[in-house]
Amino acid sequence: MSMPSRRRLLRTGAAVAVVVGVLGWRSAGERRRRLAGDVLRPPGALPEPAFLASCVRCGLCVDACPFDTLKLAGVEGPAQPGTPYFIARRVPCEMCRDVPCVRVCPTGALSPGLRIADARMGVARLAHEERCFSFTGAAYCEACYRACPLRGRAIRMAMGPTRRGGRFTPTVDADVCTGCGKCEQACAAADAAITVTALPGRQG
């Protein structure tokens, strides 16, 4: 191959590598954004900007969690690399009374002294009514209600005709719900009808 055409080939290769690199970076970023709705922070996490500034990505909270609820995000997400998160549908928070994850955090990114009952990791809601057996009348189901550690307060099965022909609506009191995710994990639908989303100004 002549020298000019080899140089052209090298230049083309370099350009392709840059484009692939940029696309790879963008798709990782996009994936992170797409999954952001599912991602919950540990109990006691400061509001997101303060949390990101305080968390030193040490992973001590993840190691301390006896239920394997917490994970550390990798370079591909679903949160900022090295930060702790959990996905309720996979493994919810068991609301440990002694909150081991918070106790080991060396920086206060997870608020020291948090009482687990005061945690507000997110809030549950019946996001997909069409999937809910009770709401559509396909069957009577109260799996989410039964799974809730605060059933009767954070969640109740409100009785009455629904828009889709059912007779019961799982109804969450956002002021009481801790965002533990037990209802989402327990949801009997193939894809959860009730889901927990992080609160934008989450505190605790």
Binding mask 14-33 for ligand SF4 (x = CB under 6 A): --------------------
Least Å distance, CB 28 to ligand SF4, is: 21
Report yes or no: 161 and 123 within 8 Å, Cβ to Cβ: no
Least Å distance, CB 129 to ligand SF4, is: 16
**Which C-beta is closer to ligand SF4: that of 148 or that of 198?**
148
CA–CA distance, 90 with 109 (Å, rounded to integer): 24
What token pair was written down for 129? 């009514």
57 binds ligand SF4 (CB under 6 A): yes
Report yes or no: 12 and 5 within 8 Å, Cβ to Cβ: no
Report yes or no: 201 and 165 within 8 Å, Cβ to Cβ: no
CA–CA distance, 149 with 109 (Å, rounded to integer): 25
Stretch 174-203 residues interacting with ligand SF4 (CB under 6 A): 177-183, 196
94 binds ligand SF4 (CB under 6 A): yes
**Phi-psi region for residue 190, left (φ > 0), alpha (ψ -120 to 50) or beta?**
alpha
Footprint on this chain of ligand SF4 (rule: CB under 6 A): 42-43, 55-61, 65, 67, 69-70, 84, 93-96, 99-101, 104-105, 107, 109-110, 124, 147-148, 150, 154-155, 172, 177-183, 196
